[in-house]
Structure 1
Amino acid sequence: MKKTLSLSAPEERGQAWRVLRRVIAENGRAHLRGYAVAVVCLVLVALSTAFLAWIMRDVIDQIFVAGNRAVLFSLPVAVFLSFLVRGFATYGQGVILARIGNDVVARYQRRLFEHLTSLSVGYFNRTRSAQLAARINQNVSGVRDTLNLTVTSIARDLLTLIFLVFAMIWQDWVLSLIALTAGPPIAIMIARLSRKLRKATRQSVDLNARVLGAMQETVQGIHVVKAFTMEAGLQDRTETLIRAAEERSNRIATITERSGPVTETVAGLAVAAVIAWSGYRAIVYGTSPGAMFAFITALLLAYDPARRLARLQVQLERALVNAQMIYEILDETPEQADRSGTVPLRVANGEVRFEDVRFGYHPGEPVLRGLSFTAPAGRTTALVGASGGGKTTVLALLERFYDPEAGRILIDGQDIAGVQQSSLRRQISYVPQHPTLFEGTIRDNIRFGRPEASDAEVEDAARRAQAEEFILAAPLGYDTPVGENGLTLSGGQRQRLSIARALLRDAPILVLDEATSALDSRSEALVQRALDEAMRERTVIVVAHRLSTVRHAEQILVVDRGRIAEHGSHDELMARPGGLYARLNAMRPDTVEDDEAQEARARVS
């Protein structure tokens, strides 16, 4: 978890500079050639702008005062060429920086996705997915903006200002001193605004992420929202967030635009003083009007880059806050990262053993309290018990979604903490309680089980999962899009596709977490028959509340408060009067049915 600390102004400035250096270090070398060409274009823009101010002296003195016909063609052509160069240079730098910026955004999107998929399940349990997605979407452009602002400000605005100031000094150093008195007051004012803006920007990003997260969650749960008439309550809650986000955005606008009146006032006083002084000298001392016009032209042309540079720190602060929030995600360390020296898991038989495993999701709240058992290779082991006893946690630890606090988990005698995670998960087929489908077609979703599988293997897995009937009835068969998270399919159909995915994986260990809980009576009977076939010659660990689905397991483990309370076959456990398993059966007698009853029910359906 990240700690939120109140930083002093020097610490915040140091943090901002560290982010800026990191952005440049990570992206500068990859785009060095593009930035070099863009900088050349920006230098041409700066030079052509300064040239326009410089040439105005000759335009006024030679054409309008001296009436020199010899320059009547050359000077206008020179002005036209300077505009032409500036136009093409502006176009070139705009296109190049846009392409570099788009590439930077794409690179960070790839990095974020790759990094997010490497993070542990615990991170996503702590972080709301809707807010995480909204935050990424809002912040990922911060790196691009940081780079582009830095390049354009230095190569265009700073150089333009330097060239124009040089032209001003060349024309009249006294007037230049008068004009430059506007700089210090504006710099002091901008420095005071930056710290306020940094805090307001971070608050605004967080609030906007919460607003987008609330909207996304409402859309995803729209059936529940309407079923429980939650519209008014959610609207009130979201309205509060929207008002807070609006208030933060208004504060950012106020802080950002606060520099405008001060900048305009100070700059206006400087320009007015220049005009008054130069006019006085022209009237009293007969100073050349060309020099005065050239100076005022340079001063007015310098105003825009000076104003942009004055606002640079404000804009850069906002971009750096966004970039920093992206790095906070990228700097998250995977909790279940492979240790050094890990080796691939090699499964010969598939025996799974838990040895005195202890684990809790939160400190001081244990879920497993010294749990030990062995799931024999090639046999079915069922975990049953009351909700909250730790059954699903066993599966999560076996997949290494979490690491135990104490004890070991072994597969064929190999401690899974010392093997490569990818090799571990390739040896396990997993069917979750709540099926998850992804954007794409039915065929795509089944093939996730084994990407290199052929179409024939995909279709065979679907047949064994009793899914082919509804697949062929779909408009495009196996090529039918499933929609967002499979919303175009029923719960039972989604679960059968999830089972087909697991069957296609063909791993030696099969893990079933309430695999038939989402199925109707007919689908449950059909899928159970398919699972019975898939279980042959595999190590199967199944979690179930419906005891009818596990009564034929070779070993049934009754999990109670993080320990194995009872173990044995169905008949052995039922023969223990007053035992926990027998009591569970007594509490849910309707869940215990034999295969014949299930098949009869399927025929009736």
Structure 2
Amino acid sequence: MADKSRKERPHVSSDTVATVLKRVIAENGRDHLGGYVFAIACLAIVAATTAFSAWIMESVINEAFANKRADLVLVICAAIFIAFLLRGFATYGQAVTLSKIGNNIVARYQRRLYSHLMSLSVGFFSESRSAYLAAQINQNVTGIRDVLNMTVTSVARDFLTLVALIGVMFSKDWLLTILVFVLAPPLLIGLRYVSRRLRSATRESIELNSHVLGAMQETIQGIAIVKAFTMEAQLKEKVEGIIARAESRSNRIARLSERTAPMTETFAGFAISSVLAYAAYRSIYGGVLPGAFFSFVAALLMAYDPAKRLARLQVSLERAVVNARMIYEILDLEPRQPDRPDARPLTVGEAKVVFRGVRFGYSEGEDILKGVSFTAEGGRTTALVGPSGAGKSTVIGLIPRFHDPVAGEILIDGQDIAHVTKRSLRNAIAYVSQQPYLFEGTIRDNIRYGRPDATDAEIEEAARHAYAHDFILAQPLGYDTPVGENGVTLSGGQRQRLSIARALVRGAPILLLDEATSALDTESEQAVQKALDEAMSGRTVIVIAHRLSTVVRADKIIVMQAGQVVEEGTHEALAGRPNGLYARLHNLQAPSGK
């Protein structure tokens, strides 16, 4: 079982920038090929017009100022205006196109992530903190977009611009151009060192920031407990510690990232001052016209920004790739419980559920269930009772295959549920948990989740059977009333009755009830118990009961202790055993009237 568990744990990937970039392009490049071609064409226009602006400086200086050719000034000015006009429209075109592509990529991966998370088992979410997982996804999903857009803009805009400007520089003074290139290698070596240091620091920063967001989300979700137990100071100290570590890591990233600035600026300052000294010497002592020099300097200055961005590209890509890599770590998780190749749809007749020697543990070597065997007859109610930790909820969780047993079989009408499709299995089951969960939307929406094709009339009928119809009509908008986050505007009993209505509208032959009334007050419990009696009619019901008074009419009671079945029978038979566990539990509850 431990091997299965590892399949769904994100691993730390060591993929290189090139590996991640290749995967991102393979998954997205073809779908956006037309958009990228258009954006690259626009960026090529930007590069060409930038180089043209530097190249024409020689004519501006020599013809307009040195030779005083008034007839050429208008032509030169018109050419410069047209170049800038083209550059403006091309910049707009590439920016809008790349933004639309980037937004589509983010939306695509959000859909893909959500779909993949739905395919993972309940066990994965039990082992992962939901707040941290949500924060990690929210923070990292843009990494894939940034990897692609950064690569396109760097190659098409910065690289082409740099090449064009270097061409201008060579055409104006090849000796000076060679001098500039001689000075470049030490700069590139320094930037490569920084990018390697940045990789690990970026990942640590992302994880720490995810913890910060996760802790905040967790506090908001549990704010009632925080206030009730005056946990503000404790949580504040805890979160401030995480924030301090995240701040320290972010500062380290800033120091590493910005180390490129003194390197590039030092290089640029040395190169430009050397060029100016050489050009001034030629102009003063050689009588050379200044036009070519100004054109060369203009090209050199214009080349500085794209060269600086290209020099920092690996540093920037490292940060984006770390984000993208963490998203791929989730997408590459293999579902722990895929349908087997021979899986077939479940065929339900009387809906008889049989456990045969079932063993299960949440971690290797620690069994919660130790050879559990019992039969839940079709169309009848079977109750699971026993002290806390006996394994009752674990039994309930194995029937819809939230987890798979380590050994033994679970059969429905003679079919091993390990060999049927999970979708058909779960379609045959309705589930009411101890803590009902309502989703964002209206009351009608939440009931309809039980069966998406249910009509309004069927929803209202299910609500009547769940004794929810009257309180729903008392709401401001009736069935169209928004329930708020997890139904905060409703009482516990009302939320539970909506949960039962959701189970009823499903029309499933098997009903699982996990202590559906234990958290309710007496009045709410009576209302919910009436709804449960309606829900249990004509179905195979397996119910966990904390209050034994709620299951005295069950057709069979299974008594569990320490992961084993120790007794089974009707209420009368079990209560009559003087030394039996059920009788002892029943006697403990009897004086309180439960």
Map 1:237-248; keep pairs closer than 5 Å. 237-248=238-249
Map 1:17-36; keep pairs closer than 5 Å. 17-36=18-37
Map 1:261-280; keep pairs closer than 5 Å. 261-280=262-281
Map 1:294-373; keep pairs closer than 5 Å. 294-373=295-374
Deviations along 1:521-571, one digit per CA (max 9) or x if unpaired, are 222222222222221221000011110111110100001111110000000
Could you state the TM-score of these two structures normalised by the residue count of structure 1? 0.95
Alpha-carbon separation, structure 1, partners of 2:538 and 2:138: 47
- Maintained 8 Å contact 1:514/1:544: yes
Alpha-carbon separation, structure 2, partners of 1:517 and 1:456: 31
- Maintained 8 Å contact 2:10/2:329: no
- Maintained 8 Å contact 1:181/1:270: no
Match of 2:78 in 1: 77
Offset at residue 477 of structure 1 (A):
0.8
Offset at residue 60 of structure 1 (A):
1.2
Match of 2:219 in 1: 218
Alpha-carbon separation, structure 2, partners of 1:87 and 1:333: 48
Secondary structure of 2:56 counterpart: helix
Alpha-carbon separation, structure 1, partners of 2:462 and 2:518: 20
Offset at residue 341 of structure 1 (A):
2.6
Deviations along 1:335-390, one digit per CA (max 9) or x if unpaired, are 11111131111101100011111100011110011111111111100000011111
Match of 1:534 in 2: 535
Map 1:142-541; keep pairs closer than 5 Å. 142-541=143-542
Offset at residue 3 of structure 1 (A):
7.6
Alpha-carbon separation, structure 1, partners of 2:128 and 2:422: 23
Alpha-carbon separation, structure 1, partners of 2:245 and 2:420: 48
Secondary structure of 1:72 counterpart: helix
Match of 1:555 in 2: 556
For this pair of structures, how many residues does the alignment match? Answer: 587
Secondary structure of 2:403 counterpart: coil
Alpha-carbon separation, structure 1, partners of 2:365 and 2:207: 31
Offset at residue 592 of structure 1 (A):
5.8
Match of 1:569 in 2: 570
- Maintained 8 Å contact 1:547/1:591: no
Secondary structure of 2:560 counterpart: strand
Secondary structure of 2:303 counterpart: helix
- Maintained 8 Å contact 1:547/1:592: no
Offset at residue 181 of structure 1 (A):
2.8
Alpha-carbon separation, structure 2, partners of 1:493 and 1:181: 77
Alpha-carbon separation, structure 2, partners of 1:534 and 1:490: 20
Alpha-carbon separation, structure 2, partners of 1:94 and 1:591: 72
Alpha-carbon separation, structure 2, partners of 1:518 and 1:446: 21
- Please provide the CA RMSD for this pair: 1.2
Match of 1:601 in 2: none
Deviations along 1:178-222, one digit per CA (max 9) or x if unpaired, are 222332121111110111111111111111111111111111111
Deviations along 1:72-127, one digit per CA (max 9) or x if unpaired, are 21110001111111111000000000000000000000011111111101111111
Alpha-carbon separation, structure 2, partners of 1:32 and 1:342: 40
Offset at residue 69 of structure 1 (A):
2.4
Alpha-carbon separation, structure 2, partners of 1:306 and 1:316: 15
Letter in 2 for 1:283: I
Alpha-carbon separation, structure 2, partners of 1:179 and 1:290: 20
- Maintained 8 Å contact 1:157/1:306: yes
* Change over 3 Å in CA distance of 1:110–1:402 after alignment to 2: same
Secondary structure of 1:588 counterpart: helix
Alpha-carbon separation, structure 2, partners of 1:446 and 1:275: 77
Deviations along 1:246-283, one digit per CA (max 9) or x if unpaired, are 10111111100111011101111011101111111111
Alpha-carbon separation, structure 1, partners of 2:411 and 2:373: 11
Do residues 136 (structure 1) and 144 (structure 2) align? no
- Maintained 8 Å contact 2:466/2:528: yes
Secondary structure of 1:170 counterpart: helix
- Maintained 8 Å contact 2:382/2:554: yes
Letter in 2 for 1:580: L
Task: Judge which range, 61-70 or 270-279, deviates more.
Answer: 61-70
Letter in 2 for 1:20: L
Secondary structure of 1:429 counterpart: strand
Structure 1 gaps, min length 5: 594-605
Secondary structure of 2:409 counterpart: strand
Letter in 1 for 2:379: G
Secondary structure of 2:16 counterpart: helix
- Runs of 4+ in structure 1 deviating by more than 6 angstroms, as ranges, are none
- Maintained 8 Å contact 2:132/2:214: yes
Letter in 2 for 1:449: G
Offset at residue 575 of structure 1 (A):
1.3
Structure 2 gaps, min length 5: 1-5
Match of 2:3 in 1: none
Letter in 2 for 1:385: G
Secondary structure of 2:452 counterpart: coil
- Maintained 8 Å contact 1:439/1:485: yes
